[in-house]
Amino acid sequence: MKNNFYIVLMAGGSGTRLWPMSRKDKPKQFQKFSSQKSLLQETYDRIKDLVPKENIYVSLTSDVVDGAREQLPRILKDNFIIEPEAKNTAPATGLAAAKIFLLNPNAIIATVASDHTIEKVGNYQQAINHFFDFVKKNPKYLAAIGIKPTRPDTGFGYIKVGKKIEGSNLYQVEQFVEKPNLETAKKYLASGNYLWNGCYFAFHAGELLKVFSKYEPNIYRGLKNILKAFGQKDEAKIIQDEYANFEKVPIDTAIAEKYDKLAVIPADMEWSDVGTWASLYDLLSKREKEHTISQGHHIGIDNKNCLIYGGDKLLATVGLEDIIIVDTPDVTLVCNKNKSQDVKKLIDKLKEEGKSSYL
């Protein structure tokens, strides 16, 4: 029954490679990069009709919860699952599973990233529906959506696909693979046996907690204490205390790479993780069929393969190629498009030099 299906929007990411627009108090999922809605709002629109309204949750940290409530007014007040601090996706997923399991021991949960773009929305929705149906029939499984790769990308983890599971649209997972080097990525693409890991998962809430007990006993012990604290007056303090002891670890390495009952559904979604300014350029240039993309107040001559984000101040450019310019009220970023991954290094440098007000 649909009443047992839940969707959790994972909205706790920091999006540091999209600085200076993505900031600590308003990271990339809250920004309007690709439309008049934020990435978070676009994600909500894609999933809002897949499960009952009361079964949609948002996982995020306390410093962005007010912004999330403002952007998603239809989410019920109690459906914001608030982490006291960012500890990556394993603790966040465990906390969501524990909270929803307490409400419904039969809950089947899909966790979806809130900072991606999807061009083929119907395929995305179909994959999530297949998710739910599969886990309902196979509650011991952890299911994933694998994205059909279009290039040998070294920025993503990969999923090696095994045999098709009888009576379903899903396949056995042979292996979760860390981000490869370029030569290996080319081999993965040529083999046709690998998918990008987009970090979309579905699972039976109670079964996932059992998996945590086996592979992440420290997190599981904390989750047990949190389960007892839900609804009590000291709930917030206990969650904070237990979270302080959790390791920062993604669900992929904590669970998926170790567990033996894994399934994947391949999906052609025209997906982008919007992870860097270069990937945003690729998305927008393909969508708009232009080689230079500009937003805001900009005038330019003879520019090629550039992404220029301005505001009220006029930006004037001449003869630029493969350049990204992002102008905000307090910071202007100028970088080579092919070096946009290194924006994250600027964040580290700002921290080193004590310029945290720019984060």
Q: Are residues 172 and 286 in the same domain?
A: no
Contact 41, 11 (CB under 8 A): no
The CA-based dihedral angle spanning residues 345, 348, 349, 354, taken in that order and rounded to the nearest 10 degrees: 160
Q: What is the pLDDT of residue 290?
A: 87
Domain co-membership, 264 together with 294: no
Identify whether residues 178 and 240 lie together within a single domain.
Answer: yes
Q: Give percent above pLDDT 90 in the chain.
A: 79
pLDDT for 327 equals 95
Give pLDDT, residue 286. Answer: 87
Q: Which of 242, 272, 302 is the last residue of a domain?
A: 272
How many distinct structural domains can be found in the chain?
2
- Claim to verify: residue 40 and residue 149 sit in the same structural domain: yes
At 12-57, the pLDDT tens digits run 888 889 999 999 889 999 999 888 999 999 999 999 999 999 999 9
Whether pTM exceeds 0.75:
yes
Residues 115 and 204 in one domain: yes
Domain extent at residue 350: 277-358
* Cα distance between residue 174 and residue 157, in whole Å: 14
Same domain flag for 207 and 311: no
Sign of torsion over alpha carbons 73, 77, 83, 89:
negative
Looking at residue 34, what is its pLDDT?
81
- Return d(Cα 203, Cα 209) in angstroms, integer: 10
Q: Which of 108, 62, 113, 96 is nearest to 236 (CA)?
A: 62
Co-location of 207 and 321 in the same domain = no
Q: Given a cut of 80, is residue 91 above it in pLDDT?
A: yes
* Rounded average pLDDT over 289-313: 91
Same domain, 265 and 282: no
Condensed to tens digits (0 to 9), the pLDDT of residues 272-299 reads 989 899 999 998 998 888 888 888 899 9
What pLDDT does residue 287 have? 87
User: CA-to-CA distance for 245 and 227, rounded, in angstroms?
Assistant: 16
Question: What average pLDDT does this structure show over 178-201?
Answer: 92
79 & 207 share domain: yes
**Phi and psi (nearest 5°) for 52?**
-60, 150
Q: Where among 256, 272, 288 does a domain terminate?
A: 272
Question: What is the C-alpha to C-alpha distance for residues 341 and 43, in angstroms, rounded to an integer?
Answer: 24
Structural domain ending residue among the three candidates 272, 303, 325: 272
What pLDDT is stored for residue 13 in this prediction? 86
**pLDDT-based confidence at 1, cuts 50/70/90?**
low
Q: What is the mean pLDDT of the chain?
A: 93
135 and 63 share one domain: yes
Does one domain contain both 305 and 160? no
Same domain, 205 and 306: no
| 232-275 confidence digits (pLDDT tens) | 888 889 999 999 999 999 998 899 989 999 999 999 999 998 98
| Domain CATH for 156 | 3.90.550.10
- Report angle CA 209, 212, 214 to the nearest 5 degrees: 120
Indicate the burial class of 352 (C-beta count within 10 angstroms; 0-12, 13-18, 19 or more).
exposed
